[in-house]
């Protein structure tokens, strides 16, 4: 999205096949500097009451305002900075995978002065 030919943000539909239930899709919004603005789960097949918690605001809140260029999109168990959902580490890893894909996508297409690499 642009305003007066300047980027004001990026919206990326992304996915992962690494969920406990397999394929999951989300929309991720980024600010021009690469910070995460919002995340919405579009589709998933995660376990009810466990992996489904990845669609709840309390989980996504930890990503808001973070820039994946400096914020490690991996669960803490894997050396990252993400608090995994209790008893749903696989779903948490999948969420991070999809979000990293989205960020990598905007890095590839955005002006290097707009998104930190």
Q: Give a yes or no: residue 6 inside a domain.
A: yes
**pLDDT band of 110, cuts 50, 70, 90:** low
Strand arrangement, sheet containing 36-43: 10-19, 22-30, 36-43
**pTM score:** 0.89
d(Cα 78, Cα 18) in Å, to the nearest integer?
A: 15
Query: Mean pLDDT across the stretch 83-112?
Result: 91
Q: Give a yes or no: residue 116 inside a domain.
A: no
Q: Which contacts of 102-105 are long-range, i.e. CB under 8 A and separated by 24 or more positions?
A: 102/12, 102/14, 102/26, 102/28, 102/30, 103/28, 103/30, 103/34, 103/68, 103/69, 103/73, 105/12, 105/14
Q: Give a yes or no: residue 115 inside a domain.
A: no
Q: Give a yes or no: residue 103 inside a domain.
A: yes
Q: Give a yes or no: residue 10 inside a domain.
A: yes
Please write the tens of the pLDDT for every residue from 59-96. 999 999 999 999 999 999 999 999 999 999 999 999 99
Q: Give a yes or no: residue 114 inside a domain.
A: no
Q: 95 or 5: which carries more pLDDT confidence? A: 95
Q: Give a yes or no: residue 9 inside a domain.
A: yes
d(Cα 50, Cα 11) in Å, to the nearest integer?
A: 27
**What is the domain count for the chain?**
1
Q: Give a yes or no: residue 88 inside a domain.
A: yes
**Domain assignment of residue 71, given as a range:** 2-109
Please write the tens of the pLDDT for every residue from 13-45. 999 999 999 999 999 999 999 999 999 999 999
- Nearest Cα residue to 97 out of 70, 77, 68: 68
């Amino acid at each position: 999205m642009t305003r007066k030919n300047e980027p004001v943000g990026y919206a990326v539909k992304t996915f992962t096949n690494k969920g406990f239930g397999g394929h999951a899709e989300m929309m991720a919004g980024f600010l021009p500097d690469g910070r995460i603005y919002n995340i919405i789960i579009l589709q998933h097949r995660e376990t009810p009451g466990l992996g489904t918690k990845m669609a709840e605001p309390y989980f996504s809140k930890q990503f808001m305002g973070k820039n994946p260029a400096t914020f490690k999109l991996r669960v803490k168990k894997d050396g990252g900075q993400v608090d995994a959902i209790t008893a749903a580490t696989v779903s948490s890893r999948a969420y991070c995978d999809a979000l990293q894909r989205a960020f990598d996508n905007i890095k590839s297409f955005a002006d290097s002065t707009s998104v930190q690499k």
